[in-house]
Each structure stands twice: as structure tokens, then as C-alpha cells.
Amino acid sequence: TADRYTQIQLQRKSLPAFTVKQELIRTIRENQVTIVIGETGSGKTTQLAQFLYEEGLGFNKGNGNKKIIGCTQPRRMAAMSVAKRVSEEMNCEIGQEVGFSIRFEDRTDPNKTSIKYMTDGILLREILADPLLSTYSCIIMDEAHERTLSTDILLGLFRQLIKKRRDLKVIVTSATMNADKFTRFFGDAPQFTIPGRTFPVDIMYSKSSNSDHVEAAVKQILTVHLQSSTDSGDILVFMTGQDDIETTCELLQEKLDLLDNPPPLDILPIYSTLPQDLQKKIFNKSDSKRKVVVATNIAETSLTVDGIKYVIDTGLIKLKVYNPKLGMDTLQVVPVSLANANQRSGRAGRTGPGITYRLYTENATEDSRMYKQPIPEIQRTNLSNIMLLLKSLGVQDINSFPFLDSPPKDLLNCSLYDLWSINALDNFGELTPLGKQMIEFPIEPTLAKLIVQSLEFKCSEEIVTIVSMLTVPNVFYRSKERKRESDMAREKFIINESDHLTLLNIYNQWETNLKKVKNNFSSINSWCTKNFLQLKSLLRAKDIKNQLLLIMKKNRMPITRSNDDTIIRKCLCSSFYQQSAKLTKVNVNGQLEFINLRHNYMKMYLHPTSSLILNSSLSTPYVIFHELVLTSKEYMNFVTTVDPL
């Protein structure tokens, strides 16, 4: 490991940020706000905080500094991964000098941590508790060009905060796009550009548009892999999410298996819910073997994989978009902006000249189908959560808040209306007691309301379990090869026409077993495998549940048990009446067809993973649902029948 440490130090010194360290530090010392611009991979995320630490801005009882360096990331996965990398570079354990904090997972030590990586959402919640951010000497707003909702709000808050905390340093880092906007926002703050090395990248377009981006990508990967067998340049593929990434990897492996002796290829998926040990693999280096990294947008700027020579860009991205027809956010796959497309291409030219294959036609970039710049989240998603936060920070008049880009009036009004309609705001736009209680929970407003409602229905223990289970990804392990078995395993847990109660049942059975085997890891692991359940997700649900219970105790909210399913259904109904539907018919394919009761009576269907999908009819036509997934149709995810009487 001494060797590895030396090697890491050498690698550090070769980064562009290292060559300008002194000037960079001088600029930061002389100004309260600095905008740092640099190509992806120049060392902004991993080096900047270390430079400041070496300058003594970090927590150090020895020299009397009790403040820490904070660095925000738009993505949980980036916060974790980067913190681990930096702790390795500093030769310490994660959670000691270098830590991270993401929702429901705090790996920092108040007596030791000097550099803290966190999601922008976490810092926003910290401002609620400590409006002056008095424990920080310095905040690096990293990846500000991503323009997440939390980043935008933080920037607005910082504009006021820097006047109250003259000693606080704020550094905004950005990829090359959009940087001038930040400069102007902070009254012509100085820009510091880290000189980058980039190599030319050839861009190839598809001749015609493709109907299936997974198939097109697999074909392109194989072509590149087989034709350029003389070099071992790695391939980076941009997909939209876990589903198409997994399908791409499977299909690619299938095609490779059909070939006679193909050159070896490492197929590495990367998306946020992938287990951490698998995520790390993308950084593994091999000189002889080519790798193909199949990634979400996280590889666009957040994570840099060295050695990429070929980029294959589907031109697609999955975004959260407010859908006014439905009155809620939905995940949608949309074309990327031109700025994103260029950023993606650039990934091929970091270590040498590269090639980008765009799986769309050149025409597509010219007509109006692609935006020039991405639309910031604040202009396209539901703002209820943020409005609730700003209200509790005492921002009376939202219209006077210094937004980098103002949210559209309609979106703002819709969000305020939503908060009013669930009784979180009163007729004067002030927080109601319910609204105040909701803010305590770092979860979406509907779920926060559900917990508060459960106090009245005296089933808070059960509801907190359900909320925790809804907050973790993939409790079920879906096995393509053993589909029948996994379906049967699932059926055993199903509770009468309710995904919510099914989740509760799974959790309770799992916990009972956990106690029975006295927390023995391998016993509970085999129980999970047998039942096609994901142990990691369940453990995480347990952790989240404990944290939610802690918040309740702190706020003196009673924790009560109920074993009456009807009560739990009523409680769900009282919080989710905005997300309700009515069964209208069974269509010719035997599918249950619903209409949305709140919005436009739109047609909706059950998500294939819902346990209700097995039913050919329902005991009552009314259902509530947790979320909508939009693909070719509107699918309700996590559904429970409710009897409105």
C-alpha cells in the first residue's frame, strides 16, 4: 500500500489543478467568492478541498481552527465516491479527516472531520438548523453547472449569507458551460480557469434515426471493439438509467458469447443504485483488456474515468419534469441539450485524440429538437419541497428571493397550490402546524404528510416502515433466469390488493427473522436469497426507519402500533387522495384500466411490478398510488385499493 500511496501522489501531481495551486490559493485568499472553471478531470473535485486543507482552513484543534471545509455535490453517488477517493489520497480512513454526508447516511466525525463532501440537499437542510453555517470555514459548491434545485437555492441563500459571514469563503466550481452566469450573480466575482489539456475528438453521427437506442448502442460498441482491436482505448456509453444500462450489458454479453474468440472486453455498468463495490470497478486499470463503461449522466461531469477513447452517446437523458397534466413530477427520457452533448463528446479526448459516435442524426442537432443549454431543475420540477423549506427559513415573499434563474410563475403557483391543498400552507401562504411538522422529515412532502397523519390514525410505527420501504430502491430481486421462482417467492408476501401493506409485511417478516437468527449475517442473507429479496435494501430501510423514528422522538411525536389494515389504508387514503384513480374497465388484453381522479381523467395502468397486476378485478374500484412512471403509457407504481366510505 506504500507503493499505491506513492503512485496516487504522483497521479495527483500530474493533474492540471496541481500546476496552478499557488495562484488558485492566492485568488481564494484574496476574495470571498471565487468561480473556478476547469475541464472535467482537471482535479476540481478531488484537489480543491485538499489544497484548502493544506492551507489550514480545515478543522484543527492544534492551530485553533474549529471550522471545516464543505464541498457539495449534486449526486449522492459522487459525494460518496469522491470522499472515498480523497480519503485514500490523504491516507486516512473514510469518516475520519475526510467524510461524507448524504441523506440518511452521515459518515463524518465531529471531532475529526476536516473535509466534508455532501449532497447539496444536505447542506440546504443544515442551513435550516444553523442559518449561518457556523461550523464551516469554506463551502465549495461543486458541479454548479448541473443547476440542481438545491444548488440554485443555496446560491441564492449564499448571496445573503456572505454579508453576514465575512469570513466564509465560497467557491463555485463549474465545467466550462454557464460559468459567466455565476460570476455575474456574485457581483463580478473573479473567475479562475484551470488550464486544461484536451485532445481533438472526431464526431460521427448516425445516418438515420434509430428506434431502439439500446440495440443501436450495442451494435456500435461491438463495431468499435472489433474494428479497433489494435488499441485498447476504453469505451464510455451514455444511457438513461438502470434499466437500459442493464439491458445493454446483457445484450452485449449475449452477442459476444455468439462470436468466435472475440478480444476480451470488461463490461462495467454504473448507476446510482448499483452496489458500491461494483461501482468502484469502473476505475480499475488494465493495459491489456479494453473496458466499456455503460453509464448514466453521472459520467458526463461528476465522475471521470481515465483512458476513455471512444464515447457512444445515445443523446438521451432521464429527467424529473413537472407534468402539469398530471399535477406531479414524472421521470421522462428526453433528448440532451447541445451543451450536454458536447460535454459528453469531450470525455473521449482527455488522454489523447478520440472519437464520439452520436446515435442520432446531425439534423437532430440542427433543428429545434435539442435545446442549446439544459433547462435548470428550478424551471421544470415541482417546487413544493423547496417552498416549504424557504417558508421555514423565513422567506416571506418568494418573488423577492434572488434566483439565478426565476422559476416560471405557473410552476411556482402550482407548487404553492399543492402545499395549500395538502394543508401545509394556510390561506395567507404561511406554514400551518402540519407544514411545520412536515419540514422535520427530509423526505418528499406527501410522505412527510403521511407520517404526520399517522399520528392521528395511531399507526405511526407501520407508516414509518412503509415510508422507509418506499424510500429504498429495489426490495425485490428480479431474476430473468428464474422468473417463475422469483414471482412465486413474491406472491407469498402479497397482502390483499396493496403494495404498501405488502412492503410492510415483507419488512416485518424480515425483521422477525433477523431477530430469530440473532442478526447473524449469513443466516439472514440466505433467508433473503431464498425469498428473492435484496438484503442491502432491507438493511437500508431499517436504518432509515430508525432515523425517522429518532426525528419523531425528538419532536415528541407518539409512536404507536396498529395491527388493523383498514386503519392503515385509511391513513394512506388521507394523505394520497391527490394521487387516486378509479378502475373503469378491463381492456381486451385483460389489463385493468383506470382513470386519474384528480387530473383530466387520464387513462392509467398498473406498473408491471405492482402486486395488483395479478388481479383480474378489484374488490373496490378506488386506488391510491405512490408515483407515476411514464413510458408509452402512464403506469401507477405502489398501489393500494381504498374504500372511500
Enumerate binding residues for Mg ion (CB under 5 A). Answer: 44-45
Site for ligand ADP contains 356 (CB under 6 A): no
Among 34, 72, 73, 81, indicate the residue that binds ligand ADP (CB under 6 A): 81
Site for ligand ADP contains 38 (CB under 6 A): yes
Least distance in Å: CB of 16 to ligand ADP? Answer: 8
Q: Per DSSP, what are the bridge partners of residue 83?
A: none
DSSP output for 119-142: EHHHHHHHHHH-TT-TTEEEEEET
Residue reference for cell 423577492: 400
Amino acid at 382: N
**Which of Mg ion, ligand ADP, none sits in contact with 15, Cβ below 5 to 8 A by type?**
ligand ADP
Of residues 49 and 628, the one with the C-beta less far from Mg ion? 49
Least distance in Å: CB of 75 to Mg ion? Answer: 11
- From the list 293, 243, 242, 244, the residue with the least C-alpha distance to 271 is 242
- From the list 417, 422, 447, 416, the residue with the least C-alpha distance to 434 is 422
Stretch that binds ligand ADP, among 33-41, 117-125, 339-347, 609-617 (CB under 6 A): 33-41
By CB under 6 A, the residues from 269 to 298 that bind ligand ADP are: 283
Rounded Cα gap, residues 186 and 171, in angstroms: 11
Least distance in Å: CB of 312 to ligand ADP? Answer: 19
Among 45, 531, 547, 575, indicate the residue that binds ligand ADP (CB under 6 A): 45
**Which of ligand ADP, Mg ion, none sits in contact with 502, Cβ below 5 to 8 A by type?**
none
Phi and psi at 311, nearest 5°, equal -115, 135
Of residues 141 and 604, the one with the C-beta less far from Mg ion? 141
Beta-sheet strands, E only, within 577-621: 580-586, 592-596, 603-606
Binding track, positions 306-345, relative to ligand ADP; x by CB under 6 A: x---------------------------------------
The helices-and-strands tally (H runs, E runs) of the chain is 23, 21
Stretch that binds ligand ADP, among 37-45, 287-295, 502-510, 599-607 (CB under 6 A): 37-45
Least distance in Å: CB of 73 to ligand ADP? Answer: 10
Site for ligand ADP contains 304 (CB under 6 A): yes
Q: Which residue is nearest to Mg ion (CB)?
A: 45
List Cβ neighbours of 21 (8 Å cut-off, separation of 6 or more). Answer: 47, 51
Phi and psi at 273, nearest 5°, equal -90, 5
Least distance in Å: CB of 39 to ligand ADP? Answer: 7
Least distance in Å: CB of 87 to ligand ADP? Answer: 10
Of residues 3 and 397, the one with the C-beta less far from ligand ADP? 3
**Which of ligand ADP, Mg ion, none sits in contact with 107, Cβ below 5 to 8 A by type?**
none
Of residues 144 and 245, the one with the C-beta less far from Mg ion? 144
Three-state DSSP state, 173: strand
**Which of Mg ion, ligand ADP, none sits in contact with 46, Cβ below 5 to 8 A by type?**
ligand ADP
Among 42, 108, 356, 502, indicate the residue that binds ligand ADP (CB under 6 A): 42
Least distance in Å: CB of 282 to ligand ADP? Answer: 8
Of residues 44 and 85, the one with the C-beta less far from Mg ion? 44
**Which of Mg ion, ligand ADP, none sits in contact with 42, Cβ below 5 to 8 A by type?**
ligand ADP
According to the 3-state scheme, what is the secondary structure of 318-383?
A: EEEEEECCCCEEEEEEEECCHHHHHHHHHHHHCCCCEEEEECCCHHHHHCCCCCCCCCCHHHCCCC
Site for ligand ADP contains 569 (CB under 6 A): no
Do 89 and 13 form a contact (C-beta atoms < 8 A)?
A: no
By CB under 6 A, the residues from 222 to 241 that bind ligand ADP are: none
- From the list 192, 85, 211, the residue with the least C-alpha distance to 140 is 192
DSSP output for 560-581: -----HHHHHHHHHHHHTTSEE
**Which of Mg ion, ligand ADP, none sits in contact with 8, Cβ below 5 to 8 A by type?**
none
Beta-sheet strands, E only, within 213-353: 234-238, 265-270, 290-295, 308-313, 316-323, 328-335
**Could you tell me how many residues of this chain bind ligand ADP (CB under 6 A)?**
15
Least distance in Å: CB of 171 to ligand ADP? Answer: 12
Burial class (CB in 10 A: 0-12, 13-18, 19+), 220: buried
- From the list 4, 3, 15, 20, the residue with the least C-alpha distance to 351 is 15
Among 85, 107, 145, 291, indicate the residue that binds ligand ADP (CB under 6 A): 85
What are the strands of the beta sheet with 290-295, ordered from one edge? 201-205, 354-358, 308-313, 234-238, 290-295, 265-270
Three-state DSSP state, 443: coil
Among 34, 40, 178, 610, indicate the residue that binds ligand ADP (CB under 6 A): 40
Q: Which residues bind ligand ADP (CB under 6 A)?
A: 15, 38, 40-47, 81, 85, 283, 304, 306
